[in-house]
Structure 1
């Protein structure tokens, strides 16, 4: 192609997205994603605005209502969004903050000392992605109302999102406030499903967790959750006057006996950073003041839970405040251990961060003006100066705790626990190092029942955990020996959610799995040394098979979690039925449920084909011949597998404890309460 024939690229090819149009074009940039997390984020943006009023001391009650029509309503008794006109834009304060990006009272002015909102994007982004958005403001003795459709102000002629909409600018006065009525803001929105994935929906448990967490963080505010259906309205209240102390007790693992009382650490400090002034001019060494609040305790167990918040916003991935907390805790406790006689033996190394965190439950909450985050969803705090501030506060308070006469004996118990954790860690490391020197690749003996593959890399290799010896024969003939390995398991493995660590390690089947994977277990698990790229659980498509899958998933979640976190654990989906047709051109179809089989038979018969009846049902993997097993379950090109994920770690851990834990009563109550939800037609008979 000659230069003259090349297509032209000019200014007319450029696109300028104005206002809220940019939000609708790329919603993920503003709310993080377009799946259920994005819909949950819409709710978070609105309730955080009300929470900011509570933090500032103006609101004492926030009510969230999940309506039967799918809309969400948030009411607060704060000051109310300003209704007077904004001099520069000519718009009311309400219309300005709900229709213009980067508009609000959280840019260093006098509106808020600290807040969760930073960019003035949250509420306007929710407005942009909503079929309908209603706001009512009680302010200045009057009740003001305004409605929007996808960010355009106007009037609806009915109460639903499908009501006729007429564009109309301006804020309307609906009446006067009643005597004794408090100021405040009420927002109700109907999100537009077109901007989200088909399966996306608001997670009520996530809403409940958000309100509960915020109630812990803001003790002076009461949160109410109302769930409305066509017939009833359920109501839950969250109010925790003891704040973070109660939150630590709530987050501590069930049955984990406390080694120490809950320690509350508070303080404040200053740091400097480069920041823009009210005119947008960048200034260096601007002094900021931060308030620190930390609550922590140690338990007898091994699990660690450290939750981080900035201005009541949960930071899932922690950030600079967590780093400061960890540095302060390690420094203070290492110093105390080295000074306390009898804790460390000669030439023993000081404990490290992992040892300090073992069995700890902690909540870190910092309040600071204009915090910086790594993304709009605020998952990680990046304000650099806060690290030094919180490190100093935590180090000073923990040092005093270890030296104070009243708490010295309690502190010594914790210090001994930390030292013991360090010794276990070092012993496990030595054991692991010894095992590495005798890996399978260097000639060490693997379990005799392992049918290994030839490849030594992990790019294609996969290990099938096969239910029973009967399926092993077909699987051995079906597999590709170059990259597919097989490990048969006899019966059901131990339920590790109930068993102790000692019993777990003694179990022969579990020991075989750990040995074959070659990456260790528990805190010493090293994903980089795992011998296979994927682990696939291959169990029968029946109740026993489901139980075995659950037990194995529990094992990986508790002792080899990085395999799940890295997306390398799968569950095979073997078929239940084999449908055959008679005639000149016979066909073979595999189905996975009774309902799917019946639908396929009906479809074939309506197409004029004769189906062999009764339709054969596989009682187990062992009934399939090698060709069938390869085609349906083991061939990467045709098989179906489920990837096991931990998208919501808290929910996963809660479900495992409920379904597989020691306590029978909560499980029985859950089964009784959930019985009505079972679809009888979906049960395989």
Structure 2
């Protein structure tokens, strides 16, 4: 029988209801790791936020319970508990068991919301081993429980609610329990659920940092909304490690205050607000009285609210939202914003070309957005997202609406006759022209420098001990602290692919210094020159001469400080190298244990990398009856090793340990570098005072 004849309709599988969600969770939440776990939480939180957007909610509480569950409560209107006529089920059961069901499909409950597909709550329910919902309405508290999406009743013991409690499913439809009374007029919803570990990876956990960041962001976007985040898990490494930890977020300034919070550099302009709205016609399917879907033209209104300011730096920070749902990958609203920026500034520079000495050069988008911090928000009914994860807005008409509002409002600001605004506009236009000229000059300089480097190799610093290979996939650059370590490193390296660059002492702290001072500093200039890819905005990752840059410093406090200074240089001026995972820190050993051999047998050497490992090694040797030479050698610096030891422990790719420097969260890294290395002393002093209690004095080299 042929393959085609054996393939019949009985081989087809039909997944119905929430079964499809459990079979293909990645289609709805992206993944089943920590990101997917957090996406489920966002779905429940966003439902409460939609109530706040509708003006019906003033407080949201999020609690991470010690048993692994999470609870989200709000004081909104409460999910309807009356019977939905089409299904005969309560509104509560419809919301949590039916895909594509809810109050956000144009029924008049929400004019603008983040939940648009009607699958959020039901998907979370399908992927939870247990989910409990309590709704306060009409003076009563109603409750409904689910086990993996199926409504029923749990028989909880004195230990409290648990997914392991005995469960009895309802035979036909969910029966709402009345579990309490509330004062008249009090309404709200509380959802508590346990993520199903049959679906999610065992290692997946709720990220407190991500939750706090999202809560703060939402509080900025919805002025007057109070969001409380409480962590009761007691997990090591979290703020709640020593006990329940609670943070409260509430902001009245909206996105203007949000923009100030995001901006890291001194201002060139105040925070400017660009507001307006536009209408467009959209063809959408509408359910008629006979139950048929027919295409109808619907007029939509798109509200635009943008806060932006320019600073003295060159980094760009643009965050965008649709109905307060973050769109990290942009979309049509961001395209319209950037399109209008370019159009407005080109027009203004053309009108003021003589005064600003623009010349024949053409301004680019990169020149305009240098130093820009902006929060772009749009509100509209039923926006079209690309996928359930809502990372990209796809409604095409929004681009033109946003572009029109930005062009009108920004032109009015840049041509304003008010003294303060006019002074800021002039300073901004001068900054843009300066950025344009710097870009053109840097491009010419880079081209000249590359040509020069190609023709002659004498431009490399004389103290560089280069490798013979030119293949960036193999080559490694070791930045070595001190001359004493350099002598040993020269003998220990593999000269075919390992290059050495010594530095003397502590380099300039580039977080506090200007670009000009950084370039004048001999050590900083040497490092940038040797890496060969430029710096700052002109950095070209593909031009880097080495595949790995390895910082090799002594294992003491001074070595840690030098490593921090070097990382600051790479983070500030060669960030793509860090983002690509090509910057490493060498991990030299701290101790050398010489195990004595029996009789004439030669002993062996054991290296340990921290105090605990040394103690465990010594305990193991004592247990086995092995003797070792005392005192144990403690390496104070790399120069104390001979070439063979340095090669074996720190430089040989087959045996060494490297610590890769990553950039998972650029915004958080920016704040930490500014805290530890920046010009503002007061926050650093507070950090040191607060951290003093956790200092282990035995770890200090004195």
Q: TM-score, length-normalised on structure 2?
A: 0.88
Q: Structure 2 CA distance, aligned partners of 1:41 and 1:102?
A: 18
How far apart, in 2, do the equivalents of 1:319 and 1:675 lie?
A: 46
Q: Sort the Cα spacing of 1:131 and 1:465 in 2 relative to 1 into closer, same or farther, 3 A.
A: farther
Pairing 1:603–2:614 present: no
- In the superposition, relative to structure 1, how do residues 508 and 679 fare at CA in structure 2: closer, same or farther (>3 Å)? same
> Could you say which residue in structure 2 is the equivalent of 1:343?
355
Equivalent residue, structure 2, for 1:116:
114
Determine whether 1:309 maps to 2:321.
yes
User: Partners in 2 of 1:18 and 1:216 — Cα distance?
Assistant: 40
Could you say which residue in structure 2 is the equivalent of 1:219? 223
Distance across 2 between alignment mates of 1:317 and 1:448: 45
Query: How far does the alpha carbon of each residue in 1:606-635 deviate from its partner, in whole angstroms, 9 at most, with x for none?
Result: 344444443333222223333333333223
Matches within 5 A, 1:462-501: 462-501=476-515
CA root-mean-square deviation: 3.2
- What residue number does 2:256 align with? 245
Task: Using the TM superposition, give the Cα deviation of residue 183 of structure 1 relative to its aligned residue in structure 2, in angstroms.
Answer: 1.7
Match of 1:545 in 2: 559
Q: Decide which moves more: 151-160 or 277-286.
A: 277-286
Matched, 1:676 2:690: no
Give the deviation of 1:314 after TM superposition.
Answer: 1.7
Equivalent residue of 2:430, what SS?
helix
**Alignment-derived partner of residue 645 in structure 1:** 662
Secondary structure of the structure 1 residue equivalent to 2:131: strand
Contact 1:440 / 1:446 at 8 angstroms: preserved in 2? no
* Contact 1:147/1:156, CA 8 A, preserved across alignment: no
State the Cα distance separating 1:479 from its structure 2 match: 2.5
Counterpart of 1:61 (choices 59, 62, 69) is 59
Q: In the TM superposition, what whole-angstrom CA distance separates every residue of 1:424-443 from its partner, at most 9, and x where no partner exists?
A: 22222222222111225753
Cα displacement string for residues 424-483 of structure 1 (whole angstroms, at most 9, x for unaligned residues): 222222222221112257534201111112222322222222222222233323333222
Q: Which residue of 1 aligns with 2:206?
A: 202
Other structure's SS at 1:570 match: strand
Name the stretch that deviates more: 431-440 or 84-93: 84-93
Correspondence 1:267 to 2:267? no
The residue number in structure 1 matching 2:425 is 411
State the shift of 1:216 in Å: 1.7
The question of whether the paired residues in 2 share the 8 Å contact of 1:155 and 1:167 is answered with yes
What does residue 361 of structure 1 align with? 373
Conserved 8 A contact 1:152-1:167: no
1:295 equivalenced with 2:307 (yes/no) = yes
| Structure 1 counterpart of 2:178 | 174
Q: Tell me if the contact between 2:30 and 2:389 (Cα under 8 Å) persists in the aligned partners.
A: yes
Q: How far apart are the structure 2 equivalents of 1:600 and 1:24?
A: 48
Could you give the per-residue CA deviations for residues 259-292 of structure 1, whole angstroms, max 9, x where no partner exists?
3232111122234566544479585976543211
Partner of 1:656: 673
Q: String of CA shifts for 1:396-429, please: whole Å, max 9, x gaps.
A: 1111222232244432222122112222222222
SS of the residue corresponding to residue 394 of structure 2 reads coil
SS in 2 for 1:120: coil
Separation in structure 1 between the aligned mates of residue 15 and residue 655 of structure 2, nearest angstrom: 43
Give the corresponding residue for 1:164: 165
- C-alpha contact (below 8 Å) 1:97/1:104 kept by paired residues: yes
The answer (yes or no) to whether the contact 1:594–1:684 under 8 Å persists in 2 is no
Query: Which residue of 558, 564, 569 maps to 2:572?
Result: 558
Q: How many residues of Structure 1 are paired with residues of Structure 2 in the alignment?
A: 679
SS at 2:355 equivalent? coil
Structure 2 counterpart SS, 1:659: helix
CA–CA separation in structure 2 for the residues paired with 1:364 and 1:258? 19
Matched residue SS, 1:515 = helix
Report the Cα offset of residue 233 of structure 1.
6.2
Query: Aligned with 1:420: secondary structure?
Result: helix
For residue 193 of structure 2, what is the aligned residue in structure 1? 189
Deviates more, 1:397-406 or 1:652-661: 397-406
CA distance in 2, matches of 1:486, 1:362: 43
C-alpha change, 1:415 and 1:146, in structure 2 (3 Å) is same
State how far apart, in whole Å, the 1-side matches of 2:403 and 2:266 are.
28
Aligned partners of 1:634, 1:197: CA distance in 2, in Å?
A: 36
Deviation (angstroms), 1:199:
5.5
Distance 1:565 1:479 in 2: 26
Residues 427 and 312 of structure 1: CA distance in aligned 2, closer, same or farther (over 3 Å): same
Match of 1:439, SS? helix
Out of 520-529 and 342-351, give the one that drifted further.
342-351
Q: 1:296 to 1:156 in 2, by over 3 A?
A: farther
Q: Deviations over 1:551-592 (max 9, x none)?
A: 111111111111112222222222222334334585443321
**More off after superposition, 372-381 vs 202-211:** 372-381
Matched residues in 2 for 1:555 and 1:579: separation?
Answer: 36
Within the alignment, does 1:323 sit opposite 2:323 as a pair?
Answer: no
The yes-or-no answer on 1:84 pairing with 2:82 is yes
Q: Which residue of 2 aligns with 1:631?
A: 648
Work out whether residues 135 and 141 of structure 2, in 8 Å CA contact, stay in contact via their aligned partners in 1: yes
Displacement of 1:55 in angstroms is: 1.0
Give the one of 28, 49, 59 matched to 1:51. Answer: 49
1:116 offset after TM fit, Å?
1.3
Task: From the superposition, tell whether residues 160 and 472 of structure 1 become closer, same or farther in structure 2 (CA, over 3 Å).
Answer: farther
Q: Is the 8 A contact 1:577 1:591 kept in 2?
A: yes
Residue pair 1:439, 1:518 contacting (<8 A) in 2 also: no
* Structure 1 residue 525: Cα displacement: 1.1
Alpha-carbon distance change, 592 to 141 in structure 1, aligned in 2, over 3 angstroms? same
Instruction: Tell me: CA distance 1:680–1:401, structure 2 relative to 1, closer, same or farther (3 Å).
Output: same
Distance change in 2, residues 1:573/1:383 (3 Å) = farther
Q: Could you tell me whether the CA contact under 8 Å between 2:141 and 2:182 is conserved in 1? A: no
Q: CA deviation at 1:331?
A: 0.7
1:385 deviates by 2.8
CA separation of 1:15 and 1:603: change in aligned 2, threshold 3 A: farther
- Equivalent residue of 1:493, what SS? coil
Verify the 8 A CA contact 1:593 1:684 in the aligned structure 2.
Answer: no
Give the conservation status (yes or no) of the 8 Å contact 1:328–1:395.
yes
Deviation at 1:512, TM superposition (A): 0.6
Query: Residue 67 of structure 1: CA displacement?
Result: 3.8
What is the Cα deviation at residue 173 of structure 1?
Answer: 2.6
How many angstroms apart in 2 are the aligned matches of 1:186 and 1:424?
56
- Higher mean alpha-carbon deviation, 646-655 vs 597-606, is at 597-606
